[in-house]
Amino acid sequence: MKRRGVLRVVLAVGLLAAVGVTLPARSTAQAKLQVAVFLPAAGDPYFKLKSCGYFAGGKKFGAGVTLFDAGGYGNLNRQVSQLEDVIQRKVNAIVLVPASSVGTVPAVEKAVDAGIVVINDGIATKSPKVTGFVGENSYLMGQLEAVYMADALGGKGKVVMLSGPSGLDLTNFRVNGFKDYMKYYPDIKIVAEKFSGTASAEALNIMQDYLQSFPDVRGVYTFNGPIAIGAVQALRAAGKKPGQVIVTTLDLEDETKRLIQEGWVQMTAISQPVQMAALAVEMAVRAVKGEKIPAETLTQSTMVTKSTLSTVDLSGQTCPKP
């Protein structure tokens, strides 16, 4: 598929997420092997990046790729309904980023029992029947945030957490990695934590409340880029200066990159989402063809700061050229 076609599909998916409508967007429609990809929030910049990887993987491994968007992490019922529809259509494989690690179990097990390969991408469904998992070491990602935060704070100060969507293994692993590392620093106090969606506006409101309750906060853990953007907006509105409060996050989209360059976000950790998405499609195709695939395939996690931004390998973060 040409890059122009990929961009049209990615933009269309983002628009559908915004208006709450879900329609499949298909690439390489003539391919015999069909892979259905399910995203919880395709409008997020992170998933727009991953969409490039899914289509690139489909092109490389000879599969048609169809995207389905739940329209938000809170829309578990919509994602389950989409899964049920696809099971009836008897696609060859499903690549699933679940809206809930527990809530998607019945649909996933139904798909596997129907002979459909199921690959979890990034977030795991709590079922032993899942064919394979492709993703990051989420616990390590959380620890990387803690390592940077502890050093930047000199081992003391108040920290708040904007921990992201609840009900996901990925969220819990990231949070636990951060908290477990912080246990080595008793003078760093985690004074507040809240789980939420990934919308920047929601994060802004949470951070504003934190600043009212803890005006002397020195560090902010955030789940991902859009949440970090909301936290920074609150810090700006409160009259804070870049670097006055240490903000760490995960993943790297264009806006996050800009905030790092401007000094508002001090650190992120990346897990190569485009590469991850292509790998998920590859594993799905290989499994459909009867090949033995690893139970777990992890991409490399890398810490990125303003000083390393120009030297870190970002190829796994970039949509491939046509």
Distance (Å, rounded) from C-alpha 146 to C-alpha 150? 6
User: Any idea where the domains of the chain sit in the sequence?
Assistant: 3-135+272-299, 138-270
Residue 314: predicted pLDDT: 83
pLDDT of residue 256: 93
Give the per-residue pLDDT at 322.
Answer: 65
pLDDT of residue 102: 95
Question: What DSSP assignment string belongs to 96-126?
Answer: E--S-TTTTHHHHHHHHHTT-EEEEESS--S
Top CATH class, 138-270: alpha beta
What tens-digit pLDDT sequence spans the chain (322 residues)?
333 333 333 333 333 333 333 334 444 444 579 999 999 999 888 999 999 999 999 999 999 999 999 999 999 999 999 999 999 999 999 999 999 999 999 999 999 999 999 999 999 999 999 999 999 999 999 999 999 999 999 999 999 999 999 989 999 999 999 999 999 999 999 999 999 999 999 999 999 999 999 999 999 999 999 999 999 999 999 999 999 999 999 999 889 999 999 999 999 999 889 999 999 999 999 999 999 999 999 998 999 999 999 998 888 888 877 6
Task: Report yes or no on whether pTM surpasses 0.85.
Answer: no
- What is the distance between the alpha carbons of residues 298 and 235, in angstroms, rounded to a whole number? 34
| CATH number for region 3-135+272-299 | 3.40.50.2300
What is the pLDDT, as a whole number, of residue 316?
83
**Rounded to 5 degrees, what angle do the CA atoms 32, 321, 227 make?**
95
> In the β-sheet with 25-26, what is the strand arrangement from edge to edge?
25-26, 63-69, 33-39, 93-96, 117-121, 132-135, 296-298
